[in-house]
């Protein structure tokens, strides 16, 4: 177990783990009171900040520290992708028990660095302190060409509803981890999706640049929790076709449907698009499947139509810390 | 005790407590995946993020929630002031036990709103979750005219060393609180400084705009911890004159000197300035005293000269969570 002389020594260790910034828009990184960030002309900044807490968002005994490092940045960057933007830099607030300042920290930083390199998102600063459990708060600053941002509020009745990838896979990965734990280099794709999710930055940017999506968000809490947010922001409703959901293969039908409707942590993009534009949407973006799962309705509320064609209201039962606590 | 139906209801409550943004540079506030932020041409963004944790940075039984709300924003904004910039918007990550979602939250938000209004800094977004203790992480985004930023690294041998205000006052306030607790509207100035610190935004901006300060930072951990950071960044040393320190009145000499050297949380500005420019520096900026406490030396290390003129090395013993833990 490694002990740091003081906070400056820990900050120095973190700074050393990250390459000096070659990103000219980040003028000054770690080591001063704050970081300087220059926007490019014609671009707007995008700001988002997320908790990632031991016991709530990850389990220290079950989740490899490399996954914690990767995921704390990936999930915040996913919010930038959800607006069609590109992540540029991030601030890391990290509170650790002294028992985690050695091997755990080293693996955590390795995972974080991998995500930062994958996303071309540089560490700009943050804050460190001691705590009896591991607390992480990550702020990501992204950018988008002015006027290209895709909001939650742009869905209109008649728009078609799409998702990227497979739904429920990360939740299935979580179930496997609860049973068996997960390694730092998982081979199972559900495990990998839960531990090392890939924010859909390229897809989001493409949908925004081509002005294809009318509304967009990322699926973090599960379709049944997140879709009502697009509907509320846009003043519309939605109808999902159960048979269209891109579910997992190799598990029972009831389970895979429940996972697809309510499973969290997928970080896929949920977006709406007019029928005219949808006609030119490819079935895949690079290797990522794009699936129409329903449509936007004038009638409020989210309903789901089964194979019998009968539509029933969909009750939100994805991840919500406040709902869980009651 | 108030319970929230779900996370969206809590976010809605927080959003209602804050006026709709009239700041045109903030294009989109709470309620989407992320916030949009447009920099003004000729300005750079400043990014900073700080922890404010129950048990480490405040005590729930001792610190009124209104102070917690004020201070979590004020201390992060102080980092922006320390570079000469102006705070513009902030992201609030808040984790609460359900026992704190009622009266405590209401008072907390009142204090936060007061600070946000005082600093003209608007709430742009954030994240909420449940936690067994109160966890706060605040990110402030500020701005500064390009090239005006004052870094820690600009101090040169021969520069004079200044501080604003009185040193050790906040630490004295903390002592009073540990003994007696503190109210939401304290009359004692040490209590007020500990509970409701005023970041020196106007002073920092003035020193930057007039190109007076060669290096600057804010005093958060105490002079003996913070001054070595300016020295390390600038590759210089410093000599402090004990008799020049702007100490508290009405307490014993040893105590007030110790408080001035090591007391944390003052959020005063520490800055260096060439002798030529110092000649035109007023004794006060608005009503805030500016005091020369020493000078920058070519010889490395921080020393302190007593009334006998003998200089001794100054050992850092201000606030450091990692040092305290050993």
What are the sequence ranges of the domains in chain A?
A: 7-145, 152-319
Q: For residue A238, list its beta bridge partners.
A: A296, A302
Mean of pLDDT values over A177-195: 82
Q: Quote the CA–CA distance of B82 and B268 in Å, as a whole number.
A: 9
Residues from chain A contacting residue B93 (CB–CB below 8 Å): 49-51, 137
- Option in B4, B56, B139 nearest A49 (CB): B139
As a three-state string, the secondary structure of B277-324 is HHCCCCCEECCEEEEEEEEEECCCEEEEECCCCCEEECCCCCCCHHHH
Residues from chain B contacting residue A8 (CB–CB below 8 Å): 229
- Across A131-186, where does the E strand assignment appear? 135-145, 160-164
Asked whether the beta carbons of A74 and A267 are under 8 A apart, the reply is yes
- Option in B35, B45, B153 nearest A37 (CB): B45
Instruction: Please say if the pLDDT value at position A262 is more than 90.
Output: yes
- The C-alpha torsion from A136 through B39 and B83 to B201, rounded to 10°, is -100
- Residue pLDDT, tens place only, A13-47: 787 777 554 555 566 666 677 888 888 889 999 99
Residues from chain A contacting residue B56 (CB–CB below 8 Å): 95, 129-131
Q: Quote the CA–CA distance of A33 and B215 in Å, as a whole number.
A: 11
The pairs formed by A183-186 with CB atoms below 8 angstroms and a separation of 24 or more are A183/A64, A184/A64, A184/A66, A184/A67, A184/A107, A184/A111
Inter-chain contact A37–B28, Cβ cutoff 8 Å?
no
Residues from chain A contacting residue B79 (CB–CB below 8 Å): 33-34
Task: Classify domain A7-145 at the CATH topology level.
Answer: 60s Ribosomal Protein L30; Chain: A; (3.30.1330)
* Å between A66 CA and nearest CA of chain B: 23
pTM, 2 dp: 0.93
Whole-number pLDDT of residue A323: 63
Residues from chain B contacting residue A93 (CB–CB below 8 Å): 49-51, 137
Indicate which of B12, B14, B36 best probes the interface with A, i.e. most A CBs within 10 Å of its own CB. Answer: B36
Residue of A nearest to B49 (CA): A126
Whole-number pLDDT of residue A326: 35
Instruction: Please say if the pLDDT value at position B81 is more than 90.
Output: yes
Q: Quote the CA–CA distance of A261 and A247 in Å, as a whole number.
A: 9
Superfamily of domain A152-319: PurM-like C-terminal domain (3.90.650.10)
Show the tokens assigned to B218: 């804010």
Inter-chain contact B48–A27, Cβ cutoff 8 Å?
no
Point out the least confidently predicted range of A4-13, A41-50, A92-101, A132-141.
A4-13
Phi-psi region of B139 (alpha: psi -120 to 50; beta: other; left: phi over 0): beta
- Option in A34, A47, A326 nearest B125 (CB): A47
Q: Quote the CA–CA distance of A264 and A272 in Å, as a whole number.
A: 20
Instruction: Please say if the pLDDT value at position B135 is more than 80.
Output: yes
Whole-number pLDDT of residue B325: 39
Residues from chain A contacting residue B34 (CB–CB below 8 Å): 46-48, 79-80, 82-83, 85, 142
DSSP string of B50-103?
Answer: EEEEBTTTB-TTTS-HHHHHHHHHHHHHHHHHTTT-EEEEEEEEEEE-GGGTTH
Asked whether the beta carbons of A76 and A138 are under 8 A apart, the reply is yes
Whole-number pLDDT of residue A7: 76
In 3-state terms, what secondary structure has residue A153?
helix
Residues from chain A contacting residue B128 (CB–CB below 8 Å): 321-322
Indicate which of A49, A57, A72 best probes the interface with B, i.e. most B CBs within 10 Å of its own CB. Answer: A49
- Option in B4, B56, B149 nearest A131 (CB): B56
Mean pLDDT comparison of A2-6, A302-306, B2-6, highest-scoring range: A302-306
Whole-number pLDDT of residue B1: 35
b/e map of A41-66 (b: 16 or more CB within 10 Å)?
A: eebbbbbbbbbbbbebbbebeebbbb
Round the average pLDDT of chain B to a whole number and report it.
Answer: 91
Q: For chain A, how many residues are written?
A: 326
CATH code of the domain made up of B152-316: 3.90.650.10
- Residue pLDDT, tens place only, A224-255: 999 999 999 999 999 999 999 999 998 999 99
Instruction: Please say if the pLDDT value at position B112 is more than 80.
Output: yes
Q: pLDDT > 90: what percent of chain B? A: 78
Mean of pLDDT values over A138-144: 96
Asked whether the beta carbons of B94 and B59 are under 8 A apart, the reply is no
* Å between B133 CA and nearest CA of chain A: 11
Angle of the B253-262 helix axis to the B223-234 helix axis, nearest 10:
40
Whole-number pLDDT of residue B185: 67
Whole-number pLDDT of residue A1: 35
Kindly indicate the confidence band of residue A171, based on its pLDDT and cuts at 50, 70 and 90: very high
Q: Quote the CA–CA distance of A119 and B117 in Å, as a whole number.
A: 36
Say which residue, A20 or B92, is predicted with more confidence.
B92
Inter-chain contact B5–A142, Cβ cutoff 8 Å?
no
- The helix (H) or strand (E) run that includes residue A177 is helix A169-180
In 3-state terms, what secondary structure has residue B13?
helix
Q: In this prediction, does ipTM exceed 0.95?
A: no
Sign of the Cα pseudo-torsion (A20, A21, A24, A27, in order): negative
Point out the least confidently predicted range of B9-23, B45-59, B192-206.
B9-23
- Across A146-249, where does the E strand assignment appear? 160-164, 215-218, 237-241
Inter-chain contact A320–B7, Cβ cutoff 8 Å?
yes
Whole-number pLDDT of residue B26: 60
Instruction: Please say if the pLDDT value at position A183 is more than 80.
Output: no
Whole-number pLDDT of residue B34: 80
Whole-number pLDDT of residue A299: 97
Show the tokens assigned to B46: 């400043």
Beta strands at A160-164 and A269-273: parallel, antiparallel or unpaired: antiparallel
Asked whether the beta carbons of B57 and B73 are under 8 A apart, the reply is no
Residue A223, phi then psi, degrees to nearest 5: -55, -45
Show the tokens assigned to B96: 């609460």
Inter-chain contact B38–A144, Cβ cutoff 8 Å?
no
Inter-chain contact A152–B80, Cβ cutoff 8 Å?
no
Say which residue, B30 or B156, is predicted with more confidence.
B156
Residue with tokens 């520069």: B159
Residue of A nearest to B125 (CA): A48
- Residue pLDDT, tens place only, B179-220: 876 666 677 899 999 999 999 999 999 999 999 999 999 999
Residue A286 CB neighbour total at 10 angstroms: 8
Instruction: Please say if the pLDDT value at position A325 is more than 50.
Output: no
Mean pLDDT comparison of A309-318, B26-35, B247-256, highest-scoring range: B247-256
Inter-chain contact B323–A5, Cβ cutoff 8 Å?
yes
Instruction: Please say if the pLDDT value at position B96 is more than 90.
Output: yes
Residue of A nearest to B90 (CA): A47
Cα dist from A177 to A104, A112, A260, whole Å: 18, 20, 18
Show the tokens assigned to A231: 């509907």
B20 burial via Cβ count (<10 Å: 0-12, 13-18, 19+): exposed
**3-state SS of chain A: helix, strand, coil percent to 5?**
35, 30, 40
- Option in A28, A152, A325 nearest B33 (CB): A152
Q: pLDDT > 90: what percent of chain A? A: 78
Rg over CA atoms, chain B: 20
Residues from chain A contacting residue B53 (CB–CB below 8 Å): 95, 129, 131, 135
Comparing CA positions, the residue from A53, A35, A70, A73 lying closest to residue B136 is A53
- Residue pLDDT, tens place only, A59-69: 999 999 999 99
Inter-chain contact B129–A53, Cβ cutoff 8 Å?
yes
Asked whether the beta carbons of A128 and A62 are under 8 A apart, the reply is no
Inter-chain contact B125–A45, Cβ cutoff 8 Å?
no
Whole-number pLDDT of residue A309: 87
Say which residue, B5 or B210, is predicted with more confidence.
B210
Q: Quote the CA–CA distance of B45 and A27 in Å, as a whole number.
A: 10
DSSP string of A276-310?
Answer: HHHTT--SEETTEEEEEEEEEESS-EEEEE-TTS-
Inter-chain contact A33–B48, Cβ cutoff 8 Å?
yes
Kindly indicate the confidence band of residue A187, based on its pLDDT and cuts at 50, 70 and 90: confident
In 3-state terms, what secondary structure has residue A315?
coil
Residues from chain A contacting residue B42 (CB–CB below 8 Å): none
Inter-chain contact B6–A37, Cβ cutoff 8 Å?
no
DSSP state of A61: T
Point out the least confidently predicted range of A182-191, B65-74, B189-198.
A182-191
Indicate which of A6, A13, A24, A47 best probes the interface with B, i.e. most B CBs within 10 Å of its own CB. Answer: A47
């Amino acid at each position: 177990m490694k002990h740091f002389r003081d906070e400056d020594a820990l900050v120095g260790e973190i700074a050393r783990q990250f390459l000096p910034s070659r990103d000219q828009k980040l003028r000054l990184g770690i080591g001063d009171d704050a970081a300087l960030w220059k926007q490019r002309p014609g671009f707007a900044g995008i700001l988002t900040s997320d908790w990632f807490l031991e016991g709530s968002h990850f389990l220290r005994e079950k989740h490899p520290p490399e996954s914690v490092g990767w995921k704390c940045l990936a999930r915040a960057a996913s919010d930038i992708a959800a607006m069609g933007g590109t992540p540029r830099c991030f601030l890391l607030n990290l509170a650790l028990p002294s028992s985690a300042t050695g091997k755990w920290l080293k693996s955590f930083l390795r995972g974080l660095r991998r995500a930062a390199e994958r996303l071309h998102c540089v560490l700009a600063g943050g804050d460190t302190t001691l705590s009896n459990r591991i607390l992480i708060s990550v702020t990501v600053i992204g950018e988008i060409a002015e006027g290209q941002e895709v909001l939650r509020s742009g869905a209109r009745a008649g728009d078609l509803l799409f998702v990227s990838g497979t739904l429920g896979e990360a939740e299935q990965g979580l179930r496997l981890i609860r049973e068996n734990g997960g390694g730092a280099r998982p081979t199972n794709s559900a495990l990998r999706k839960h531990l090392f999710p890939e924010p859909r930055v390229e897809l989001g940017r493409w949908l925004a640049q081509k002005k294809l999506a009318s509304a967009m968000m990322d699926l973090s809490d599960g379709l049944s929790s997140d879709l009502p947010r697009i509907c509320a922001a846009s003043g519309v409703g939605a109808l999902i076709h159960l048979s269209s959901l891109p579910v997992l293969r190799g598990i029972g039908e009831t389970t895979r449907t429940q996972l697809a409707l309510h499973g969290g942590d997928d970080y896929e993009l949920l977006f709406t698009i007019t029928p005219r534009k949808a006609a030119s949407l490819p079935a895949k973006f690079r290797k990522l499947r794009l699936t129409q799962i329903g449509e936007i309705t004038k009638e409020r509320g989210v309903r789901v139509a089964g194979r019998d064609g009968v539509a029933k209201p969909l009750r939100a039962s994805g991840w919500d810390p406040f709902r869980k606590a009651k």
